[in-house]
């Protein structure tokens, strides 16, 4: 058998024309991860953190916190896990080693020859970006991993030892530096090289800068920076500021309305796409059914399964509209009317009792015990809440529905994240919430309030470092809820003992007069410090005797 670890057409077929090479690159993009519940039968990584709880018991997401996680159950269905990322890396290496230097001479008289050649020449930079991105997913998951930057035989691959996490981060940042000024800067402004095809969704200069900035922040974080090298935070702040400046120069920035970011037309609506740096688009209907909505619509409506239910832990993170935390006696928070006058991002993210959700419904949600959408109904929310964010509330899952507009975009990089990344790096670098430097003229306090001002919430004003750090973590949890960050953020901060050992649910009951009573319920979860990094799959250890397992697995 002429066995290969990758599955592609042979080289002679691919280089026949531009279209075949372009198809090869499309295959590479298919390895980009997204988390709409497309693994673990609908559960998102949010439900392995303190953001949400999956409503149906027995889902594999529980393995992350019930002791069933192990090298032989290494959660390889995760979109960014070992095998899939190395498949992407192998594909990138194949392209970079075997598909360079083509001239397509038989096509040189085609009217679009120069434009097609420009696209072909750019593919090498896209492939290097993708390879660096796949390595970022690996290093944040496993720490150091084998570094493969060329085509190797299976025997060669299966003899490699793990490179250090420092080496992997240095490789990622080095690759971004090498291609940043060569990759296409803006696909909407190709001039004479423009083609009559849609170019959205491809990695450009801003995507490269975003990967470099995010990787630098992770590298500076305690999980990967045990010596506390403060220079890494300086680099992370600097790279992030350079990205934000480049975004501004290109007319990008925060979109006016937070909830618009998950609009089905976000990818081609200029007022929304201005915030999106890089994302992966897919159609739910083409994936089999309305994936996000089918998994997360409330139990009790046709087609609703309950899904990833926001926790009270998350809901408590949303401040009052005046900017004060709900625990502040001066905030105005009313425990008997807990969702009034809250940060508008709460209503954009979480469906609460009394909401009309999904938006095509006419009846208000009843998430209290015995209600139409509450326990003990199968799949009903155990937390008192359902998920709005990421879902298109106009999609009906009813059997007679004709609603087909089900496009979704997973926001891999967006401007809002990087204002928060900058605030964190700047705070850690300077040790101050208000300090600036000549090369970093924006303070951590000013940066963290950018996303709050977009939401219409009062500024954070805490200048005490300890208080600011707690407020920063809350703001990050709120702004980036269900976008795949919390699971990794708490790990890189090494603060899982504070955040992942329990979640809080809200149990709602009603009296005869219809009065709703709210009672918090604490649910304990298991945590072990070995879980900061994933176990390397046992199958990989058996294939390669030079791989060493992560500690205590």
Contact of 149 with 93, CB cutoff 8 Å = yes
Summarised one tens digit per residue, pLDDT across range 310-359 is 999 999 999 999 999 999 999 999 999 999 999 999 999 999 999 999 99
**pLDDT beyond 80 at 105:** yes
CA distances from 160 to 21, 152, 183, 406 (A): 30, 11, 31, 43
Residue 146, helix vs strand vs coil: coil
Dist CA 336 CA 346 (whole Å):
17
53 three-state secondary structure: strand
Give the residue-averaged pLDDT of 449-468: 98
Q: Indicate the DSSP class of residue 550.
A: P
The DSSP symbol for 427 reads H
pLDDT score, position 2: 55
Give percent above pLDDT 90 in the chain.
81
- Band of pLDDT at residue 25, cut at 50, 70 and 90: confident
pLDDT above 70 (res 234): yes
Q: Quick one: 173 exposed, middle or buried, by C-beta within 10 A (0-12, 13-18, 19+)?
A: buried
Distance in angstroms (rounded) separating the CA atoms of residues 507 and 505 = 6
Contact 518, 506 (CB under 8 A): yes
User: What are the pLDDT digits (tens) for 70-102?
Assistant: 999 999 988 889 999 999 999 999 999 988 888
For the chain, the average pLDDT equals 93
The residues near 257 (Cβ < 8 Å, ≥ 6 apart) are: none
The pLDDT value recorded for residue 72 is 96
pLDDT of amino acid 23: 79
Among the ranges given (59-63, 269-273, 421-425), the one the predictor scored with the smallest mean pLDDT? 269-273
The yes-or-no verdict on residue 14 having pLDDT over 70 is no
Mean pLDDT along residues 194-215: 90
Q: Work out the pLDDT band at 10, boundaries 50, 70, 90.
A: low
Strand partners, 414: 276
Both structure tokens of 477: 């949890």
What residue ranges define each of the domains in the chain, with the CATH number in brackets?
Answer: 224-284+412-479 (1.25.40.10)
When pLDDT is averaged across residues 130-154 and rounded to a whole number, the result is 97
- Is the distance from CB of 138 to CB of 85 less than 8 angstroms? yes
Nearest to 350 by CA among 46, 133, 132, 6: 46
Please state which of the ranges 119-123, 160-164, 205-209, 505-509 shows the lowest mean pLDDT: 119-123
The model's confidence at residue 16, banded by pLDDT at 50, 70 and 90, is low
In the prediction, which pLDDT does 399 show? 84
């Amino acid at each position: 058998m002429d066995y290969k670890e990758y599955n592609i057409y042979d080289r002679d077929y691919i280089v026949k024309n531009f279209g075949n090479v372009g198809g090869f690159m499309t295959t590479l993009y298919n390895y980009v991860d997204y988390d709409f519940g497309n693994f673990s039968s609908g559960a998102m990584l949010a439900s392995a953190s303190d953001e949400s709880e999956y409503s149906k018991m027995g889902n594999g997401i529980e393995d992350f916190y019930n002791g069933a996680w192990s090298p032989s159950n290494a959660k390889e269905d995760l979109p960014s896990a070992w095998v899939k990322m190395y498949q992407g890396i192998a594909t990138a290496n194949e392209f970079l080693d075997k598909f360079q230097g083509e001239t397509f001479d038989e096509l040189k008289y085609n009217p679009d020859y120069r434009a097609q050649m420009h696209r072909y020449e750019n593919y090498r930079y896209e492939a290097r970006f993708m390879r660096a991105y796949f390595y970022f997913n690996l290093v944040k998951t496993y720490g150091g991993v084998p570094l493969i930057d060329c085509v190797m035989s299976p025997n060669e691959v299966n003899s490699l030892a793990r490179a250090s996490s420092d080496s992997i981060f240095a490789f990622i940042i080095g690759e971004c530096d090498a291609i940043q000024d060569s990759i296409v800067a803006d696909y909407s402004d190709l001039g004479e090289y423009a083609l009559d095809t849609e170019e959205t969704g491809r990695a450009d200069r801003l995507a490269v800068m975003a990967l470099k900035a995010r990787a630098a922040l992770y590298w500076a974080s305690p999980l990967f920076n045990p010596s506390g090298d403060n220079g890494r935070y300086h680099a992370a702040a600097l790279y992030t500021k350079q990205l934000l400046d480049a975004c501004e120069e290109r007319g990008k920035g925060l979109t006016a309305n937070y909830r618009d970011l998950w609009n089905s037309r976000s990818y081609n609506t200029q007022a929304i796409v201005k915030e999106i740096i890089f994302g992966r688009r897919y159609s739910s209907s083409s994936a089999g059914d309305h994936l996000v909505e089918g998994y997360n619509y409330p139990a009790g409506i046709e087609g609703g399964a309950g899904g990833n239910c926001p926790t009270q832990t998350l809901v408590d993170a949303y401040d009052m509209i005046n900017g004060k935390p709900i625990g502040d006696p001066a905030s105005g928070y009313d425990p008997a009317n807990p969702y009034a006058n809250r940060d508008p991002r709460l209503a954009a993210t979480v469906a609460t009792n009394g909401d009309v959700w999904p938006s095509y419904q006419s009846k208000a949600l009843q998430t209290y015990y015995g209600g139409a959408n509450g326990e003990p109904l199968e799949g009903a929310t155990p937390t008192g809440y359902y998920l709005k964010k990421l879902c298109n509330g106009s999609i009906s899952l009813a059997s007679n529905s004709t609603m087909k507009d089900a496009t979704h975009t997973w926001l891999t990089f967006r401007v809002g994240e990087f204002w928060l990344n900058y605030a964190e790096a700047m705070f850690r670098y300077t040790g101050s919430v208000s300090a600036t430097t000549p090369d970093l003229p924006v303070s951590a306090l000013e940066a963290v309030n950018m996303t709050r001002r977009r939401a219409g919430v009062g500024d954070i004003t805490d200048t005490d470092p300890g208080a600011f750090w707690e407020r920063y973590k809350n703001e990050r949890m709120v702004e980036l809820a269900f976008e795949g960050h919390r699971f990794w953020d708490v790990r890189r901060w090494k603060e899982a003992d504070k955040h992942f050992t329990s979640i809080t649910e809200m149990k709602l009951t009603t009296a005869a007069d219809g009065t709703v009573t709210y009672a918090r319920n604490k649910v304990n979860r298991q945590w072990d410090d070995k879980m900061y990094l994933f176990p390397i799959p046992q199958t990989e250890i058996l294939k390669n005797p030079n791989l060493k397992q992560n500690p205590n697995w």
